[in-house]
Amino acid sequence: MKWWGWGEEHISFTHDDKPDLAPFVRKHIGIDFYSGGASMVDLESIDLPATRLSAGLRAELVTAVGEAGVRDDRLDRVVHAYGKSMRDLIRVRRGDVGRPPDVVVYPRNESDVSKVVRAALDADAVLIPFGGGTNIAGSLEPERNEGRAVVSVDMSRLDRVLEIDDSSQLARIQAGALGPSLEEQLRVKGWTIGHFPDSFNHSTLGGWVATRSSGMQSDKYGDIADMTKAVCVVTPSGTLVTRAVPSTSTGPSVREMILGSEGRLGIITEATVQVHRIPKERVILAYLFPTFSAGLAAMRDISESDASPSVTRVSDSFETQFSFATKKKSSRLDQLTSDALKTYLRKRKGFDLAQMSLSFIGYEGSPSHVAYQRKIVSKIVNQHGGVSVGKGPGKLYDQKKFDTPYIRDFLLDRGGLADVSETATSWRQLEPLYDAARDAALKAFGDIGVQGWVMCHMSHSYHSGACLYFTFAFKPTDDNTALAEYDAVKSAVQQSFVDNGGTLSHHHGVGKEHSHWMTEDVSKAGVTMVRALFNGVDPGDNFNPGKIV
């Protein structure tokens, strides 16, 4: 894993094969791909504080997980100091690693985790579970003034699918399993979990559960909160085991207390999740709508219809233009920007091309079920003035869907900041919130005095609403002001969410980054309840203190 960016060392974003991108970015964000890059420190030059781990606790940890499983080398401590938020990347590239963990332990199984927890509690140390390290809400970062020893518990060795119950369509999976690994272990037996967040390649089941994750096909498969039927968690008062029952009136739901708990209640070691037979057919179709508003209305009507697509996604005109700018030479997106199509849309369909919105809708199941749904959706798309533009762009989207985070590093290398903020709200509030969030971002750019870009797509349709996913980018005034300017934009967008009926995040969790908006999201009494739960379960504040509330 890159200590300074997303994913693996040998993978990075390139614009070499995308001739329209550099001019687009230069024009709209003011970043020049060809002029001087940003500076970054060397790993060796980072000023790493001495470990506070006592010899006694170290010995206990070695007893728990073996000598090879206890690491405090430079790279391990730096990688485990943060997640991968924009704030994290800005800081780590400067050599600011905050208050890094004193040691990283790699348990091999649940028993190891129990021993680690016992040892840490006995020594009044802090425990921070670490899955794939992709968190962008600050959930992995120790408190800056933490005086106790901090133990990062890396779950990567607990990576197996333990059992598949064919009859119940349930799989028991260890929490440290990364997306591709668990999906491959399921695939060879004919199953899929159907959970594909942007971070899929580098995030773990335990991380998804701990942050209430949502995936690209959640319209069909549900969010992780829906698909997780049981959890196994090492808590301060022993190992929590819930039952993999399809539903229960046993309340308040203990399973739901673990979902989104971000390490505050214990360390998740296993989850039992719904799995599905790999569908016979899977297709993602692209559509174009005359406006974002028309696209949203169509998605709403689809959510009320008898169709149940696996993916519903529509980009605003700005994201649509950006998508077109990323097209490769002679790529499948070509058909979307051909003169013939443009003429047809303008002349025959009355499109204003500057307002046009690109949409993807996915279908899965038996060929007849896919056909049945396509027919229903097609009618709705028509009613809203949209047109189908075939499978080509959808295939491209499907292949490239996990690559987006690499663009952040690419821009950072060139002195630009790009980040995302997303929320969910009711269908009624969707457009007012969209307008408010755009205005808030643009006002923030103006106040700072920078050129900025903001674009958005709707994804994840539900019966009563959807997720709006914003991406914003700008070139900060200089390196010293970058973080403050980032804060100003990010805060303005987040504030517009809660001011307009949205939640603080649809699928990125709370962590430190969003905890400021907890009271507005769940009210003062709600914060009291969450705090009561944390304090009661973890009176010593040893489990990932400071996160969420």
Q: Which is nearer to a copy of itself, 208 or 445 (CB)?
A: 208
Per the CB < 8 A criterion, the answer to whether 504 and 494 are in contact is yes
Q: Residue 230 is encoded by which pair of tokens?
A: 């049981």
Q: Position of tokens 């443009």?
A: 342
Per the CB < 8 A criterion, the answer to whether 46 and 75 are in contact is no
State the alpha helices, DSSP H only, in 315-425: 317-325, 334-337, 339-343, 367-383, 392-400, 404-413
Q: Which is nearer to a copy of itself, 416 or 511 (CB)?
A: 511
Per the CB < 8 A criterion, the answer to whether 220 and 308 are in contact is yes
Mention every residue, 6+ apart, whose C-beta is less than 8 A from residue 201. 7, 178, 179, 180, 402
Q: Which is nearer to a copy of itself, 310 or 323 (CB)?
A: 310
Q: What Cα–Cα distance (Å) separates residue 437 from each residue in 311, 442, 500?
A: 24, 9, 9
Q: How far is the CB of 66 from a copy of itself (least distance, A)?
A: 26
Q: How far is the CB of 403 from a copy of itself (least distance, A)?
A: 23
Taking alpha carbons only, the member of 27, 21, 28 closest to residue 326 is 21
Q: How far is the CB of 195 from a copy of itself (least distance, A)?
A: 14
Q: Residue 134 is encoded by which pair of tokens?
A: 């992709």
Whether 406 is a known active-site residue: answer no
Q: Residue 490 is encoded by which pair of tokens?
A: 């990010």
Per the CB < 8 A criterion, the answer to whether 423 and 433 are in contact is yes
Q: How far is the CB of 409 from a copy of itself (least distance, A)?
A: 24
Per the CB < 8 A criterion, the answer to whether 89 and 408 are in contact is yes
DSSP summary character for residue 346: I
Q: Which is nearer to a copy of itself, 281 or 447 (CB)?
A: 281
Q: Which is nearer to a copy of itself, 488 or 537 (CB)?
A: 537
Taking alpha carbons only, the member of 418, 427, 499 closest to residue 468 is 427
- SS3 track for 26-91: HHHCCCCCCCCCCCCCCHHHCCCCCCCCCHHHHHHHHHHHCHHHEECCHHHHHHCCCCCCHHHHHH
Q: How far is the CB of 491 from a copy of itself (least distance, A)?
A: 17
> What is the strand order of the sheet 103-105 is part of?
70-71, 103-105, 150-154, 126-130
Residue 549 amino acid letter: V
Per the CB < 8 A criterion, the answer to whether 409 and 3 are in contact is no
Helix axes 427-448, 292-304, angle to 10 degrees: 150
Q: How far is the CB of 231 from a copy of itself (least distance, A)?
A: 10
Residue 290 amino acid letter: P
Q: How far is the CB of 390 from a copy of itself (least distance, A)?
A: 24
3-state secondary structure of 81: coil
Q: Which is nearer to a copy of itself, 76 or 364 (CB)?
A: 364
Q: How far is the CB of 116 from a copy of itself (least distance, A)?
A: 16
Q: What Rg value do the Cα atoms of the chain yield, rounded?
A: 23
Half-sphere exposure of 244 (CA within 13 A, CB side): 19
Dihedrals phi, psi of 126, to nearest 5 degrees: -100, 140
Q: Which is nearer to a copy of itself, 390 or 526 (CB)?
A: 526
Q: How far is the CB of 416 from a copy of itself (least distance, A)?
A: 27
Q: How far is the CB of 386 from a copy of itself (least distance, A)?
A: 19
Dihedrals phi, psi of 469, to nearest 5 degrees: -120, 110
Q: Which is nearer to a copy of itself, 29 or 259 (CB)?
A: 259
Which position among 106, 287, 469, 486 bears the catalytic label? 469
How many C-beta neighbours within 10 Å does residue 426 have?
13
**Length of the chain (residues):** 549
Taking alpha carbons only, the member of 35, 32, 136, 141 closest to residue 81 is 141
Q: Which is nearer to a copy of itself, 242 or 357 (CB)?
A: 242
Residue 376 amino acid letter: I
Q: Which is nearer to a copy of itself, 131 or 415 (CB)?
A: 131
3-state secondary structure of 439: helix
The residues assigned a catalytic role are 469
